[in-house]
Amino acid sequence: MSPEHGKSDERLNQRRTAILAAARRLFLEKGFEETTLSHVVGLAGGSLATVYKLFGSKEGLLHAVVFERVRTGADFIRDVARQDLPPPVALKEVGLELQRRFLDADDVALARISITRSSCDPAFARQFYERTHMPTMEALQILFERWQQQGHELSTSPRLLARIFLSILIEDLRSETFYQNCATRLSCEERGQRIAFFLRGAGLEGEGCPCREGPPAS
């Protein structure tokens, strides 16, 4: 690769980063429908030709904005699994972290945009589900399978337990997404009660750790 070609690639990557940052800001502030590519170029600099070259369309730009910020709990769940914590302690840690991640204000706003887009773009909907929900659920399933292999007598299959546990935690994300400020977020005590109820039903009840609040999501 020639030095000139390398510099050209670097400039294009910098332009791509600037366009994504501008688009994300405008999508969150104005909404997807009200944002035009001219708005994005006006904020990011560059040209419409560069936007089309990099992303193809406004829909392509939305895809890049959403999927570059995809946040799942899979890596955190795997980290918890490596610590070999007792199930009640592990699930309380996982529950707290997933709530932090799923209820990040910008993530909730992008989820609203993504759901609206999914209604008219099945391919986008499928990709959003596969890139956000599935990795977290699969990591949870592996965690439950590990406990089953260690001799814990689970009340049902690891896959179903993973679905149920995730559903009781992302209910607040759904509420925030659809009802915005009308939803009431779980307190530490309420989250602990949900997890304790799940542990009893799953056959994993035992002594855990006190419910700990962490710093609010930025």
DSSP for 3-69 reads HHHHHHHHHHHHHHHHHHHHHHHHHHHH-TTT--HHHHHHHH-S-HHHHHHHHSSHHHHHHHHHHHS
- Same domain for 39 and 138, yes or no, is no
In a domain, 152, yes or no: yes
- Same domain for 11 and 109, yes or no, is no
- Same domain for 43 and 17, yes or no, is yes
> Do residues 92 and 192 make contact, with C-beta atoms less than 8 angstroms apart?
yes
Q: Reduce the DSSP state of residue 94 to 3 states and report it.
A: helix
In a domain, 213, yes or no: no
- Same domain for 81 and 130, yes or no, is yes
In a domain, 214, yes or no: no
Question: Is the model's pLDDT at 155 over the cut of 70?
Answer: yes
In a domain, 217, yes or no: no
pTM for the structure as a whole = 0.74
> Do residues 94 and 213 make contact, with C-beta atoms less than 8 angstroms apart?
no
Number of domains observed in the structure of the chain: 2
The dihedral region occupied by 203, where left means phi > 0, alpha psi between -120 and 50, and beta the remainder, is left
In angstroms, how far is CA 99 from the centroid of its own chain?
A: 10
Over residues 193-207, the pLDDT tens digits come to 888 999 999 999 864
The CA-based angle 134-113-24, given to 5 degrees, is 100
- Same domain for 124 and 44, yes or no, is no
Residues of the chain with pLDDT > 70, as a percent, come to 83
Question: Is the model's pLDDT at 181 over the cut of 60?
Answer: no
Distance of alpha carbon 101 from alpha carbon 173, whole angstroms: 10
- Same domain for 128 and 195, yes or no, is yes
Range of the domain at 57: 3-68
- Same domain for 40 and 132, yes or no, is no
Over residues 114-145, the pLDDT tens digits come to 888 888 888 888 888 888 889 999 999 999 99
- Same domain for 78 and 56, yes or no, is no
Question: What is the chain's mean pLDDT, rounded?
Answer: 84
- Same domain for 46 and 139, yes or no, is no
In angstroms, how far is CA 143 from the centroid of its own chain?
A: 19
Question: Is the model's pLDDT at 179 over the cut of 90?
Answer: no
- Same domain for 79 and 63, yes or no, is no
Residues of the chain with pLDDT > 90, as a percent, come to 50
Higher pLDDT, 48 or 100: 48
- Same domain for 61 and 143, yes or no, is no
> Do residues 125 and 118 make contact, with C-beta atoms less than 8 angstroms apart?
yes
- Same domain for 167 and 142, yes or no, is yes
Which of 52-66, 106-120, 156-170 is the least confident region?
106-120
Over residues 60-88, the pLDDT tens digits come to 999 999 888 777 789 999 999 999 999 99
Looking up residue 186, the CATH number of its domain turns out to be 1.10.357.10
Give the pLDDT confidence score for residue 37 in this predicted structure: 96
Nearest to 96 by CA among 182, 190, 23: 190
In a domain, 196, yes or no: yes
Last residue in a domain, options 68, 86, 113: 68
The dihedral region occupied by 187, where left means phi > 0, alpha psi between -120 and 50, and beta the remainder, is beta
> Do residues 154 and 202 make contact, with C-beta atoms less than 8 angstroms apart?
yes
In a domain, 218, yes or no: no
Q: How confident is the model at residue 158 (pLDDT cuts 50, 70, 90)?
A: very high
In a domain, 89, yes or no: yes
